[in-house]
Amino acid sequence: MSLIRDKYHVLKILLKQLHSDVMTTKVDASELQQSVRSLQQFFQQQIVPLVGLDTDSNDEGRLQSYQTEMSKQLRLLEIDMIFFQGARQASTAKSRLDAIGDRLTTLIEYCNAILQ
């Protein structure tokens, strides 16, 4: 389970960094989009293959459930990005960034649950 924990720890760090960037800096839509794509790529290449590795059947089912939910949240994050890019007013852009922040918080909480 050590490899699994290490990969999820890295994912959590990436999510926290992106969350911090979204919440504390003036966000450039293209940079944010690239960060989200990199995050999705990391998830697909490093996290998805972990199911079935080095876990008992209870852990595997739990891990599979979290991965399914995280995959869904990452797809929704991409949709949130599209809405953010389409925002024309500052107030709309702010609410879209808040939604992105909430989505990232949810993903961080899933990582925390897996790492416990």
Residue 71's nearest CA partner among 19, 11, 116 is: 11
Give the tokens for residue 16.
Answer: 């926290």
29 contacts 85 by C-beta, under 8 angstroms? yes
Least confident range from 24-38, 68-82, 87-101: namely: 24-38
Residue 8's nearest CA partner among 57, 46, 40 is: 46
Q: How many domains does the chain have?
A: 1
| Site of tokens 């994912």 | 11
The tens digit of pLDDT for each residue in 20-31 reads 999 987 888 889
Higher pLDDT pick, 58 / 7: 7
Q: Identify the pLDDT of residue 66.
A: 93
Confidence of residue 56 (pLDDT cuts 50, 70, 90): low
- Range of the structural domain that residue 80 is part of: 2-115
pTM over 0.95: no
Calpha distance 77→32 (Å, rounded): 11
CATH of the domain at 17: 1.20.120
Residue 31's nearest CA partner among 22, 41, 40 is: 22
Give the tokens for residue 95.
Answer: 């609410």
| Site of tokens 């389970």 | 1
Least confident range from 60-64, 69-73, 96-100: namely: 60-64
| Site of tokens 């697909």 | 44
